[in-house]
A and B are shown apart, each in its own frame.
Chain A
Amino acid sequence: MALRLTARPTTKGATRAPARVATRPYRWWTPYVFMAPYLALFATFVLAPIGYGLWISLHEWDINFPAKPFVGLGNYRELFDPASVDGPRFWAAMRATGIFTALSLPFLLVVPLLVALLMNGRFRGRDLYRAVYFAPYVLGVAVVGLLWRFLLDGNIGMVNHYLGVLGLPDDTQWTTDTPAAWWALVGVTVWWTLGFNAVIYLAGLQDIPAELYEAARVDGAGAWSRFAHVTLPGLRPVLLFVVNATLLASANMFGQSYLITAGAPADETKTAIFLIAETGLRRFEMGTASAMSFVLALALMAASAVLFRIFRDRQEDR
């Protein structure tokens, strides 16, 4: 959501908004009063924590111990030290995050697009279907995780039962074995969040001018070529948002793993956020956890930047 909006304050907002309201002059502090409550929150819970987190990451910090010795980059160095306790643990969790993201991203991009394309025409009940596909998304991950932990149960779960009915293997341990657990986590996530991406795609599809399709038709373009030459290019800005938002959401996966697999087998499905929360907020090794979160955050920001470049370069090619 942010990417497209950063351009606005300088162009549209700054020049247009105040100039148009020809009002009595207000006192110079009026706008600050309007902003004060929000800025107080913002400073306390967003701005300060960014700096504070960096500070913590440079210390050996435990909430229970008064002494919080400065260790410089020690916490970071430890993460990159294969002989340490936290290093291998952290990279195993990063790997889990990477596996989940890589497996889920294609499905979370393609399946919602198919749903959106199917619903892009105007037909009776379209809004109802849209509501149906969006419905699981309004449920929290706690409900989704609990429900699927039940349905995926290796012994009494509905999933295995119906697989058996279809003559497929019915004894897959979806919650305790890899790779089955990965597919379970991906499947649940697609079921849960498909509606979100579909709704965004749908809005993007409806912003593509119909004239373009008409023109393509006149030129004799078939359905596939209309999709490739009109729909996909028309969706490019939306696609940038969807890819980025999905990537970040997948990389922040926590609840599914916590509730469905509990990290099993042997922490293989324990994601980075899961480990960071556990390290910082359960074991109170806050310096280590902060260092982990900065490494993860940098990885995410780098991924976003790469995406942004790819999309921008493509745009320039055209």
Chain B
Amino acid sequence: MTTPRTTSVPAPHTAPSPRGDETAPKRRTPQAGPVARRRLRRSLLHLVLAVVAAFYLSPLLYMLVTSVKTRGEAGATEPRWIPDPFTLDAYRHVLGSTDSPVMQWFLNSLLAASAHALLVLVTAAPAAYALARMDFRGRGVIFAGVVATLFVPPVILLVPNFLIVNELAWVDSLPAVIVPAAAGAFGVFFLRQFFLTLPAELEEAAEIDGANRWQTFVRVVLPLSRPALVTLALLAFLSNWNDFLWPLYVLLSPDSLTLPAGLANFQGANNIRYDLLMAGAVIASVPVLLLYVVAQRWVIEGVSRSGLKG
């Protein structure tokens, strides 16, 4: 979907040459500048982009570097980019700590984010399918109602949801961070838009073969929707893994925290141990960065699709 359409327009005969194709949209005049000047501009662009990108990522690199320093070196005034000596003490300390059970937080986060992503898929997909493909009384009202809540600032749900979760005896336990967020309208919305793009003929064929609605949904629609389902699951996982405010207030005891909430407490207790803090930050970053590296295209396109086309 992000395939640039611009490139298909200028001079089709240049298409086989990748360079001609690349430069075409940036041409200033129809007859284009001298090749050398174009090359210079291109390398200059690359140089600028590379330098800025390195600069841009340097904080993350420094986080990693600091996490393998000694306590003294991490707190030194002169930033050093190559740790001397290299040590995993911070990780040993963080992972072995009993008053800040980082390992437990990690597992809590993993469990919560996975369960949340699953819950979003399981509830949103059938609802989105009904809204996309079935005709029933109240469909317009239900859909409009769900959509309308996208305009409601979530801050007004904060206090009442805390009380509801408290009523359900979920305070200080993982369901509190897994379930309520799955009620958001985004997943239903995202999948409905996708289902509308599927060719209805395949569903018709399945039903002619005697499948009922549920069978059609599970055997035809869901397999065809794998890209959308994976994208939604990724976005749900990431947002849950990174959620900060809600877990910070709804999870209380040290053993029940997720990583973001735990790290906030951890900072309060260790505000001078930057080696430990950075080790904690790295531990919280690794899963999402790995996920991102593996599924980068889906994450980015999911985001731009959700922003533009719903």
- A interface, CB within 8 angstroms of B: 1-2, 4-6, 8-10, 12-14, 16-24, 26, 28, 30-32, 34-35, 37-39, 41-42, 44-50, 52-53, 56, 63, 118-125, 127, 129-136, 138-143, 145-151, 155-156, 158, 161-162, 191, 196, 199-200, 202-204, 206-211, 213-214, 217, 223, 238, 241-242, 245, 248, 252, 254-255, 258-259, 272-273, 276-277, 280-282, 286, 289-290, 293-294, 296-297, 300-301, 304
Q: Is the CB of A129 within 8 A of B53?
A: yes
Which residues of chain B come closer than 8 Å to A14, judged between CB atoms? 139-140
Q: Is the CB of B159 within 8 A of A281?
A: yes
A34-B127 contact in complex given A45-B180, A259-B264, C-beta closer than 8 Å: yes
Q: Is the CB of A35 within 8 A of B244?
A: no
Which residues of chain A come closer than 8 Å to B5, judged between CB atoms? 206-207, 209-210
A139-B289 contact in complex given A38-B123, A156-B75, C-beta closer than 8 Å: yes
Distance, CA A131 to CA B136, complexed state (A): 43
Which residues of chain A come closer than 8 Å to B78, judged between CB atoms? 161
Q: Is the CB of B164 within 8 A of A52?
A: yes
Which residues of chain B come closer than 8 Å to A23, judged between CB atoms? 203-204, 207, 213, 216
Interface residue B196 (Cβ < 8 Å from any Cβ of A):
yes
Interface residue B153 (Cβ < 8 Å from any Cβ of A):
yes
Distance, CA A301 to CA B149, complexed state (A): 12
Q: Which of A16, A121, A127 has the most CB of B within 10 A?
A: A121
Distance, CA A294 to CA B289, complexed state (A): 36
Interface residue B310 (Cβ < 8 Å from any Cβ of A):
yes
The 21 sampled A-B contact pairs (Cβ below 8 Å) are A6-B147, A13-B192, A21-B203, A21-B207, A35-B126, A39-B142, A41-B183, A46-B152, A47-B145, A124-B22, A131-B292, A131-B296, A141-B242, A142-B242, A142-B261, A158-B62, A203-B1, A214-B10, A254-B244, A259-B264, A300-B153
Distance, CA A44 to CA B161, complexed state (A): 9
Provide the B276-298 mask, 1 if CB < 8 A to any CB of A, else 0. 01101100110011011000110
Q: Is the CB of A20 within 8 A of B200?
A: yes
Nearest-neighbour CB distance to chain B for A155, whole angstroms, equals 7
Nearest-neighbour CB distance to chain A for B135, whole angstroms, equals 4
Q: Is the CB of A34 within 8 A of B278?
A: no
Distance, CA A217 to CA B122, complexed state (A): 51
Nearest-neighbour CB distance to chain B for A46, whole angstroms, equals 5
Q: Is the CB of B260 within 8 A of A141?
A: yes
Contact partner of A286 (CB less than 8 A), chosen from B63, B163, B289, is B163
Distance, CA A45 to CA B56, complexed state (A): 39
Which residues of chain B come closer than 8 Å to A258, judged between CB atoms? 244, 248, 264
Q: Is the CB of A147 within 8 A of B281?
A: yes
Given contacts A56-B159, A142-B261, A276-B159, 6 further A-B contacts (CB under 8 A): A13-B132, A47-B145, A129-B53, A258-B244, A258-B264, A293-B153
Contact partner of B166 (CB less than 8 A), chosen from A47, A63, A136, A289, is A63
Q: Is the CB of B292 within 8 A of A138?
A: yes
Interface residue B157 (Cβ < 8 Å from any Cβ of A):
yes
List CB contacts (< 8 Å) of B18-75 with chain A. 21-22, 25-26, 28-30, 42, 45-46, 49, 53, 56-57, 59-60, 62-63, 66, 75
Which residues of chain B come closer than 8 Å to A139, judged between CB atoms? 60, 242, 284-285, 288-289
Nearest-neighbour CB distance to chain A for B272, whole angstroms, equals 9
List CB contacts (< 8 Å) of B296-310 with chain A. 296-297, 299-300, 303-310
Chain B at the A interface: mostly helix, strand, loop or mixed?
Answer: helix
Nearest-neighbour CB distance to chain A for B179, whole angstroms, equals 7
Contact partner of A147 (CB less than 8 A), chosen from B63, B135, B189, is B63
List CB contacts (< 8 Å) of B111-128 with chain A. 122-124, 126-127
Which residues of chain A come closer than 8 Å to B305, judged between CB atoms? 203
- B interface, CB within 8 angstroms of A: 1-10, 21-22, 25-26, 28-30, 42, 45-46, 49, 53, 56-57, 59-60, 62-63, 66, 75-79, 122-124, 126-127, 129-137, 139-140, 142-147, 149-164, 166, 179-180, 182-186, 188-189, 192-193, 196, 200, 203-204, 207, 212-213, 216-217, 238, 241-245, 248-250, 259-261, 263-264, 267, 274, 277-278, 280-281, 284-285, 288-289, 291-292, 296-297, 299-300, 303-310
Which residues of chain B come closer than 8 Å to A136, judged between CB atoms? 56, 60
Q: Is the CB of A42 within 8 A of B263?
A: no
Nearest-neighbour CB distance to chain A for B233, whole angstroms, equals 15
The 3 closest A-B pairs by CB, nearest first: A140-B242, A142-B260, A18-B135
Q: Is the CB of A2 within 8 A of B151?
A: yes
Nearest-neighbour CB distance to chain A for B95, whole angstroms, equals 17
Which residues of chain B come closer than 8 Å to A191, judged between CB atoms? 56, 59
Q: Is the CB of B122 within 8 A of A37?
A: yes
Distance, CA A32 to CA B137, complexed state (A): 10
Which residues of chain B come closer than 8 Å to A290, judged between CB atoms? 156, 159-160
Which residues of chain A come closer than 8 Å to B267, judged between CB atoms? 146, 149, 259
A294-B156 contact in complex given A35-B131, A138-B289, C-beta closer than 8 Å: yes
Nearest-neighbour CB distance to chain A for B299, whole angstroms, equals 7
A44-B183 contact in complex given A13-B132, A200-B307, C-beta closer than 8 Å: yes
Q: Is the CB of A123 within 8 A of B153?
A: no
Which residues of chain A come closer than 8 Å to B308, judged between CB atoms? 4, 200, 203-204, 207, 238, 241
